[in-house]
Structure formats: C-alpha cells, structure tokens
Amino acid sequence: MTAGVIVQARIASTRLPGKVLMPLAGRSVLAWVLERCRAIPGIDGVCCAVPEGVGDDDVAFEARRCGVPVFRGAHHDVLYRHYRAASAFGFDAVMRVTSDCPLIDPWLCGQVLAIFAQANVDYASNNLPPSWPHGLDCEAVSFDWLARAVREAEAPEDREHVTPYIRRHPRARRRNLTRPGASAYHHRWTLDTRRDLRFLQEMAERLPEGPAGWDHRVPLAIVDAEPALAAINIGPAPMGVAPASTEVTK
C-alpha cells in the first residue's frame, strides 16, 4: 500500500481571507501543517492540492518553498481535486488533512492510518463522532472509494467536502479513533476567525520548537495550565463555519 497525505489549501476565505499564509511564530500556517504532515508515521509522500488559477499561486509557491510538491486542480470540485492528486502521485490510500489546522499531531494521524491499514477498512477517521480537540481532525480513505465517490456523488456538498458520500455510504467499512476518557472537542485549534488566529499565535509562542511541540498533549497541558488562553476562542464554531471534514479554506 502506498499511503500519501493530501493537504488541501487555497487563498480565498470569506471568514478570514488568506488565513493559510498568516504567520505563526515567524512561519505560515501552511508551513506548520506541511511540516507536521511530513512527519506522519507510515506515509510515503505528501502533496498540497491547490486550485488552478493565478489567485492561488502564492499558496502553491509557499508549499513548494516548504519542500512539498503541489497538484493544481478544480477549485470547487474538491473531491475531484483529491482524486486527481492521488492518481498523479500513485497513492493507494489517502490521508486527508486540511490546511487550517497548524496543531495537527503526526502521531495521532499515524494512529488513524494504522487503524485504516490494520482493520482492512475503506475509511478511518478521528471525528466520527468527534472527541479530540477541533483542529486535530484527519481521515484516511482508499483510492478505490475516492474514485467511486467521483463517479457516483452528485450533490454539490459531496463534491465540495470530499468524503461525506463515503462517510454515509452503507457499504463503506468505517472505523473511528476515539479519544480515551472525556471528549476534548470543545477546544478550538483550527483557524476560521480572528479569535482563532489570536489563540493560535499565543499558543505558537508557548510551544517548544520542533517535534517536542507536535504532540497534542503539549498544547493540552498549556491550556489546562492557562484557562485564559483557552478562553480566547472557546465555544461553538461561529455561524457559517464549516465542520472539520469540509473544505476548510472556503
């Protein structure tokens, strides 16, 4: 099995334009995501799936600057963009990560990928139902099911959000990685608003550099010790914010 990570990214955002290129401790949000994705155990490659068009050239440039190859594809049909990227790079299994989750945990992603491979399923995730901090979301799907969704999914939301067709299909074999103990999904570690940006910038300044800060237990310990930090953006997502399994750079 050739497993690859596809990070979807684009510049446009009605809620926070240009968010994937915003700075966190001197590096872009996208750089944080790509660095961590390259460290996921069990993967054979990482690519950044960026829409075609000059408007997203800066995103593609940043991904390449980070040493990650870029696939340019459909702007609104994100499902087809993923399918073509997976085909171009020869991925039999695709791990999907969104570009506004700079605290994504490589180890946690690796656990989801391991479940996908060892349980011999079609789809695995850690948010069905969600129990980890919002912003650690990832999912793995077989190329065959990605191709099937491309052929069969017709609803616009299925084309835009990539995996809903697979997640609800009665014949798709699914597994979920649930967080032990109480759910921590009330923590918002994703980037959709200015409050999220402020929280992530504050967190970035507190995290140790390099792999020592990639473990999700490190930021959890920080917010436990500093409740005021977590309070910056705590609570439900603002109206209109897409859930973690959708095109988050919308």
Count other Cβ atoms within 10 Å, centred on residue 13: 16
Q: In this predicted model, what pLDDT tens digit does every residue of 69-123 receive, in sequence order?
A: 999 999 999 999 999 999 999 999 999 999 999 999 999 999 999 999 999 999 9
Task: Please determine, for residue 244, whether its predicted confidence score (pLDDT) is greater than 50.
Answer: no
Residue given tokens 């700079």 in the structure block:
102
Q: Which domain holds residue 221?
A: 3-230
Q: What pTM was computed for the model?
A: 0.93
My answer on whether omega of the bond before 227 falls inside 30° of 0, hence cis, is: no
Give pLDDT, residue 239.
45
Average pLDDT of the chain is: 93
- pLDDT value of residue 13: 81
Tokens 């990070």 locate to 7
> What's the pLDDT band for 14 if we cut at 50, 70, 90?
confident
Q: What is the CB neighbour count within 10 angstroms for residue 99?
A: 29
Residues whose CB falls within 8 Å of the CB of residue 97, separated by 6 or more in sequence, listed in order: 5, 6, 7, 33, 37, 104, 109, 138
> Does residue 246 lie within any of the structural domains?
no
Out of 41-45, 67-71, 192-196, 240-244, least confident range: 240-244
The Cα 60–Cα 65 span in angstroms is 9
Q: What are phi and psi of 34, to 5 degrees?
A: -65, -40
In a domain, 243, yes or no: no
**Distance, CA of 46 to CA of 238 (rounded, Å):** 31
**Alpha carbon distance 62, 21 (integer Å):** 8
For residues 171 and 9, the answer to whether their CB atoms sit within 8 Å is: no
Task: Inform me whether the pLDDT recorded for 236 exceeds 80.
Answer: no
How high is the pLDDT of residue 145?
98
Residue 38: is it exposed, middle or buried by C-beta count within 10 angstroms (0-12/13-18/19+)? middle
- CATH classification of the domain holding 96: 3.90.550.10
What is the H or E stretch that residue 200 is in?
helix 194-206
Q: Would 50 be classed as within a structural domain?
A: yes
Give DSSP secondary structure letters for 161-184.
HSSHHHHH-TT--EEE-PPSSS--
Residue 239 lies in a domain: no
Domain-embedded: residue 236: no
What is the number of structural domains in the chain?
A: 1
Is residue 241 situated within a structural domain? no
* pLDDT classification of 237: cutoffs 50, 70, 90: low
pLDDT at 49: 98
3-state secondary structure of 6: strand
- Region of 18 (left: φ > 0; alpha: ψ -120 to 50; beta: rest) is left
